[in-house]
């Protein structure tokens, strides 16, 4: 594949817009969980950057954990099977948990993780995502905290990749169709 420079791609959301929405969600979470402890569970690798910023916008006691799931061929597999590659390190039974994602797309990843985490009997379970593509949903699931809803466009940056590239781009940009090699 080719990896055109991110600077050539149209900006969908600037780093300032992302920061503003992330701070607003952090303030909302701070209000919703006042006086409580929360566990933020990031979904590797895409959620790493949003989690890092969101955590710094939250003013309640919190810890981090991370999960990793398989993604190979997911969009082409009719079963929509998702497999756990890395589980949480610490028990979440009785804890207030927020799963943190960069993007909610078909919903297969988050509905799988949601089911899995509920088996651990958390006190509560919510989902925070930077982006939501509701048009693409294959299974019914909604996030509790959403920074931006977007149409069905391929985006990179702020943790999101094309062939593992562009995760460190600090704006969210539209990836050109022609470079995706469809
Ligand atoms: C992407 C994204 C979400 C998931 C959303 O991860 O980061 O985790 O897909 O898609 P879905 O709603 O259709 O399940 P990906 O599998 O590309 O792994 P990555 O985070 O390591 O890039
Ligand atoms: Mn991901
Ligand atoms: Mg990816």
Residue 75 to residue 58: CA distance in whole angstroms: 33
How sure is the predictor about 72, in pLDDT bands with cuts at 50, 70 and 90?
Answer: low
Measure CA of the first residue to CA of the last residue in the chain; give whole Å.
Answer: 11
Ligand 3 center to 87 CA (angstroms):
18
77-90 pLDDT, tens digit each: 456 789 999 999 99
* pLDDT value, residue 78: 53
13-71 pLDDT, tens digit each: 999 999 999 999 999 999 999 999 999 999 999 999 999 999 999 999 999 999 999 97
How sure is the predictor about 179, in pLDDT bands with cuts at 50, 70 and 90?
Answer: confident
Residue 123 to residue 136: CA distance in whole angstroms: 30
Ligand 1 atom nearest residue 75's Cα: 13
Q: Which tokens is 71 given?
A: 């993604």
* CB of 124 shorter than 6 A to ligand 1: no
Residue 134 to residue 79: CA distance in whole angstroms: 20
Other CB atoms within a 10 A radius of the CB of residue 90 amount to 10
Q: Decide if 65 is catalytic.
A: no
How sure is the predictor about 177, in pLDDT bands with cuts at 50, 70 and 90?
Answer: confident
Length of the chain measured in residues:
182
Structural domains in the chain, CATH included, are 15-150 (3.40.50.2020)
Which of 105, 113, 130, 137 for a ligand 1 pocket mutation test, highest count of atoms within 8 Å of Cβ? 105
Residue 177 to residue 155: CA distance in whole angstroms: 10
Residue whose C-alpha is closest to residue 98's, from 116, 122, 80, 76: 122
């Amino acid at each position: 594949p080719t990896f055109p420079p991110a600077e050539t791609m149209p900006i969908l959301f600037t780093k300032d817009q992302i920061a503003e929405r992330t701070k607003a969600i952090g303030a909302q979470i701070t209000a919703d969980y006042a006086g409580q402890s929360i566990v933020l569970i990031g979904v590797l690798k895409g959620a790493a950057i949003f989690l890092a910023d969101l955590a710094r916008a939250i003013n309640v006691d919190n810890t981090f954990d991370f999960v990793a799931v398989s993604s190979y061929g997911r969009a082409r597999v009719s079963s929509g099977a998702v497999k756990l590659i890395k589980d949480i390190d610490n028990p979440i039974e009785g804890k207030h948990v927020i799963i943190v994602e960069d993007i909610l797309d078909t919903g297969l990843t988050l509905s799988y993780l949601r089911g899995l985490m509920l088996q651990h009997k958390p006190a509560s379970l919510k989902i925070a995502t930077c982006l939501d593509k509701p048009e693409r949903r294959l299974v019914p699931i909604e996030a509790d905290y959403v920074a931006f809803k977007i149409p069905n466009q391929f985006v990179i940056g702020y943790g999101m990749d094309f062939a593992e590239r562009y995760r460190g781009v600090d704006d969210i940009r539209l990836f050109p169709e022609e470079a995706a090699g469809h």
